[in-house]
Structure 1
């Protein structure tokens, strides 16, 4: 936040106020992303670049929290991370399964959110491809620390 200029900081402050006031998800996102577009378009910043800014990421985070609280979206879990890993690091799900020892059928159920992998199965599979599990704090735990 220290790197934000006065206009960006004012926009973030506005977004935080709206978030804390209990703005609805659609209302918040329409306002936030409209204001962000206006700010950076006015500066001649390409949309693709404005999506990489701290202000945009803050708005995304706040909007996501509103969506989760309202029940419109869910918190991501290990299955989301697993899907991204497969997409980025492997040519196909089949290749991922071959390298990890997981069955394609089980992986399909896991990614469709119908089943879970046991901690042992997930740890073993990830270990075969050079990955490991990590425990990280939730937003609620981070907030409680401060």
Structure 2
């Protein structure tokens, strides 16, 4: 029994480690992709990346952590959901949306101090292009697995 538990723990550790490495690899690819698309100078890059990383951390907390908790709560209580609880959940969803919008606006404001408006627009395009590229790669790999 101890061996089985040890094997399961080991497998889970390896899986988590692999996920972390994949996340780090994707982050590294994203940094390279955005740096190339924006043609950042050394000075711009030094100022840009700390701001970008802080924004991503903040946005992730809102989008994935808060929204995931709300969606989980909705799924778990869907059958017994009354109007009062539904309104409370809607209010939380709306608050999360406002927080994401405010984070994006603050991010743009900070960027405007270090990047030209054109580069800020190029950033949005680069982010969208990177997401598309990652989705295409995911679909391609999923197709190869089947």
Q: TM tier, shorter chain?
A: under 0.3
Q: TM-score, normalised on structure 2? A: 0.26
Q: TM-score, normalised on structure 1? A: 0.26
Higher relative contact order (CA 8 A, sep 6+): 2
